[in-house]
Structure 1
Amino acid sequence: MFGQTGSGKTHTMCAIEEMATLEVFANISPEDSDDPVIGIQFLELRGDKCFDLLANTKGRDFPELRLREHGGTYRAEGAMELYPRDNEDMRVVLETGHARRKTSATGANAVSSRSHAVCIIRLFQTAGMLVLVDCAGSERKKDSMYHTKERQQESAEINTSLSSLKDCIRALSSQQKVPSHVYRTSSLTKVLADAFICGDRGRLAVICTASPCATDTEHSISTLRLGAALAGFSDTEEKDLPDLSHWLTFSGSIVVSLKSTRANGIRTLGAEAWIAELKGDFAEVLNGLPSNTTGQMLVRFTESRCVQL
């Protein structure tokens, strides 16, 4: 899950975990129920530190784990692994992990996740593994300008690890495997090393969440750019660009491009063309707008400026 803080990553990931649980146990044969079929670990990554959220401990002093390298991949040494027997056991384990995750109120989100949550589900029957990662939300400078010193440090660590993740995804979009020096730059990408180096044996999926607020347009475009890069579209590509306008919609209105033509390789409507398509009272707005108005300027207009125009 990737996106800005408050855009719905944890909410979506909880639903994915529930669906994964139902699917895993729906395919377990009754005669195999005596032996553990799945094992689950729940880790929390804060900066370069890794904590075990399933450890049997009192309070919130969860043990810090070391990420040890094993054949090019990394494992959390000493992480508690539980073996749920059914859907209810799995639900309790997942709820416990989420409840122990560090959150804090910020100016952008009342329950902002201040860490990355990594749920590792091992499938013993097939020797497969499902890794579900709920990334901490990316933040802009204005989102954290009123934070305490501790919150600002957390934001810096979050953005640094997300930057490492972006580098890995860019590398993966252009080659089959990510070089080791790229994914060794943060604890987040170390935990995901399996997905970056397994080639055709694995599948990596990124779900990008975007805020519907007009003031978050720049942030949303940045998030969607990452999704486009994963899909194989580079920023400089000019041929066969996908027309994504049919799904780039916020509350029924098409996204206004930050530029008059195209933004980050995704075709959207310019500010003037977008307003011209609107019905009713908005039709007269064009007469009052300066001729050089762009989408970037439009979403930043204050209420008083709109009244003035």
Structure 2
Amino acid sequence: MGNGESQARDKRAFRKEHANIFEGVIFHYEKANNLQISKELVPAQFKDEAINVVVRLRPLFDHEEDKGEFPVVQCTYSSTSKILPKDNCVIVHKCMSGPDMKPQTAFIEHVAYPFPNGHVFCEDHTTQDVYSNAVLPLIGYTLNNQSKIEQRGTIFMYGQTGTGKTYTITGVVKLLSSDLFQYLLAAQKSERSTYSVKVTCLEMLGDSLYDLNNNHTEVKLLQGSGNVRDINVVGSTEININDADGLWKAYDDAAQLRETHATMINSQSSRSHYIFRISIERDGKKYARLTLIDLAGSERNADSMYHDADRQRESAWINSSLSNLKDVIRTVTLSKSNQQQHVPYRNSKLTQLLRDSFEGSGCKTLIISTLSPISTDTEHTMNTLQVMSLLANGDASLDPVISKTQAGDVFKSTDVGRMKPVAKWTTEECFAWIETVDKGKFAKYAEEFPKSVNGAQMFRFPAARFAQITGDQDVGIAMRKALDQYTEALNKQKQALAEETRSRLKGK
């Protein structure tokens, strides 16, 4: 294991080992800045922007919490802070240790990425929210074609392995299937036109392209003889689609054939790009086209170190492919704002294939970027947000807003890193725990507890007693679990301190 890899592992372990400290600092930061999360969403507009970016944060999973993970990412819409962006932003709480790796010198860098022109979906928003407020406007634009040329809408799923890209796009396709055919049936009746729908399902793995509709047969990309923008997929199969169920089945059947492998993060991670293209004709002429791309998940270099040679080459190709796509999208964005730029389409097969999704009039693109909330993924999440912020804001150079909180500034220096047994808590400490644990999830129940409750009493409370006090069985179970987790963390800290003491004695 290299020194850099060892440091990364130590950093992640330190975060989880001292989660109670970092969660307390994050809670203090939220309360001090009065951070607000709103579900009031305004549908995205695609009239002027050629490329729109939205961000979706997935929730913390139970199995992650069981492993000591905690959330360090939040989507905010307003605050009382004079420093933070006034509009949509994503805040990453980068939990750090001092040079001595002691909890007393722990601190957090709060990095706020502004997205004033894009939607930010928090962990409470549903796929329906994402579809209605980000995807549906793009579909409406693409299908409302008043010109003589084919209008093209493209949707990318971008993000780290395990952040929910495939989950999101699967839900989007289900919703799209129904809406698309409802729209076309209504249009046929009102316009007396005939519409037809065909789909192509392609997988890009390395520099090879495969037809998922035809036994995974390899196909070729060839440049058209006329316009340099014309790229033909030679040998691909188009399937005629007659209804919503047929569209969903075509997508799902092809998705099942997609290349997957286990990674450090996901036991069934998609290691290829899946391109699902819906072509619509009106009265036998090209009318509209929707292309949905579920990109392969990017992966931390540290995590890919344990793959075999094939998986390492695969990861290198994925990261290179995503980097080339990012460069193309950014350059296209600058070109749309009257800054003539050379667009590096030829740098990858993916960007060659999608060239006509970006060039010419009638092209709109939506990028849905998914994020992990957990502390272990902090650096990768920040990298994703840096890319998305750049693409979302074009050349506006909206730098993230960074502030810093020392753990010692929030807690008394004698308390930092020292966990006190629950049985020894004072009444004040009991209520402090109730109001702050799990980011204040149980704070509203504090008034229901006996005013004289102390740690010795609370330590003996079973889940049923917590449920009796709060009036909610699920809350009772959750509070007992949280108290047990605190005790487990306390025992681990005691063991670590004992080992440290033994090491010092040996060194004397």
TM-score range, shorter chain: 0.7 to 0.9
Other-structure match for 2:386: 225
Report how many residues are paired: 257
CA displacement at 1:143 relative to structure 2? 1.3
Separation in 1, partners of 2:174, 2:400: 33
Classify 1:285/1:82 alpha carbon distance in 2 versus 1 (closer, same or farther; 3 Å): farther
Question: In the TM superposition, what is the alpha-carbon distance from 1:36 to its structure 2 partner?
Answer: 5.8
Please name the residue that 1:184 is paired with. 346
User: In the superposition, relative to structure 1, how do residues 172 and 306 fare at CA in structure 2: closer, same or farther (>3 Å)?
Assistant: farther
SS at match of 1:37: strand
Secondary structure of the corresponding residue to residue 365 of structure 2: coil
Name the aligned partner's letter for residue 207 of structure 1: I
> Does the 8 Å contact 2:206/2:318 carry over to 1?
yes
C-alpha contact 1:228 1:234 (8 A) present in aligned 2: no
1:239-286 alpha-carbon deviations (Å, 9 max, x no partner): xx4xxxxxxxxxxxxxxxxxxxxxxx222542438x867xxxxx3479
SS at match of 2:239: coil
- After superposition, the CA RMSD in angstroms is 2.9
Task: Tell me the secondary structure at the aligned position of residue 93 of structure 1.
Answer: helix
1:156-194 CA distances to partner (integer Å, 9 max, x unpaired)? 111110110111122123112996660111111112211
Aligned counterpart for 1:108 among listed residues 265, 270, 274: 265
Structure 1 stretch 1-10 or stretch 69-78: which is displaced more? 69-78
Rounded to whole Å, the distance in 1 between the matches of 2:344 and 2:373 is 33
Distance 1:174 1:276 in 2: 43
Identity %: 32
Question: Normalising by the residue count of structure 1, what TM-score does the alignment of the two structures yield?
Answer: 0.75
Q: Tell me, yes or no, if structure 1 residue 69 matches structure 2 residue 229.
A: no
Q: Name which of 157, 160, 166 aligns with 2:326.
A: 166
Partners of 1:285 and 1:34 in 2: CA distance: 75
Contact 2:345 2:352 in 1 (8 A): yes
- Which one is further off, 180-189 or 82-91? 180-189
Alpha-carbon contact 1:44-1:53 (below 8 Å) kept: yes
Matched, 1:267 2:401: yes
Deviations 1:46-80 (CA, angstroms, capped at 9, x unpaired): 1111000111x3xxxx1111111232132311211
Query: 1:99 — aligned with what?
Result: 256
Structure 2 contact 198–238 (Cα < 8 Å) conserved:
yes
SS in 2 for 1:17: helix
Distance 1:44 1:215, change over 3 A: same
CA distance in 1, matches of 2:321, 2:365: 18
Aligned residue number for residue 50 of structure 1: 209
**Preserved contact between residue 73 and residue 190 of structure 1 (Cα < 8 Å):** no
Secondary structure at the counterpart of residue 202 of structure 2:
strand
**Residues 173 and 229 of structure 1 are in contact (CA less than 8 Å); yes or no, is this contact kept in structure 2?**
no
Distance in 2 (alpha carbons) for counterparts of 1:151 and 1:95 = 25
- 1:50 partner letter: L
CA deviation map 1:2-37 (0-9, x unaligned): 111111111111111122212210112376799662
Is 1:38 paired with 2:234? Answer: no
Assess, with a 3 A threshold, how the Cα gap between structure 1 residues 99 and 180 changes in structure 2: closer, same or farther. farther
Aligned partners of 2:159 and 2:384 also within 8 Å: yes
Query: How many angstroms apart in 2 are the aligned matches of 1:233 and 1:288?
Result: 42
Report the residue type matching 1:64 in the other structure. Answer: E
Where do residues 157-306 of structure 1 align in structure 2 (5 Å cutoff)?
157-176=317-336, 182-198=344-360, 200-234=361-395, 237=397, 241=398, 265-272=399-406, 283-284=411-412, 288=416
Matched residues in 1 for 2:413 and 2:321: separation?
Answer: 43
What letter matches 1:213 in structure 2?
I
**1:250 alignment partner in structure 2:** none
Report the equivalent of 1:89: 246
Contact 2:160 2:380 in 1 (8 A): yes
TM-score by length of 2: 0.47
1:15 aligns to 2:171 (yes or no): yes
Q: Which has the higher contact order (CA 8 A, sep 6+)?
A: 2
SS of equivalent to 1:170: helix
Question: Highest CA radius of gyration, 1 or 2?
Answer: 2
User: Given that residues 118 and 134 in structure 1 are in contact (C-alpha distance below 8 angstroms), is that contact kept between their aligned partners in structure 2?
Assistant: yes
Q: Which runs of 5+ in 1 are unaligned?
A: 242-264, 278-282, 290-302
2:151 alignment counterpart: none
Alignment check: 8 A CA contact 1:2 1:209 kept: yes
Question: Deviations for 1:123-179, whole angstroms, at most 9, x for unmatched residues?
Answer: 112611111111001112111111011111111111110110111122123112996
Question: Contact 2:304–2:312 (CA<8 Å) still a contact in 1?
Answer: yes
What residue identity is the alignment partner of 2:301?
A: K
- What is the SS of the residue equivalent to 2:318? helix
SS at match of 1:223: helix
Equivalent position SS for 2:162: coil
Q: Secondary structure at the match of 2:384?
A: helix
Matched to 1:192, the amino acid is L
Whether 1:29 and 2:163 are equivalent positions in the alignment is: no
Q: Find the residue that maps to 1:209 and give its secondary structure.
A: strand
Shift of 1:40: 0.5
- Kindly indicate which of the two structures has a greater share of residues assigned to helix: 2
The 3 A distance-change label for structure 1 pair 268 and 88 is same
Gaps of 5+ in 2: 1-156, 418-491, 501-508
Corresponding position of 2:103: none
| Alpha-carbon shift at residue 106 of structure 1 (Å) | 1.4
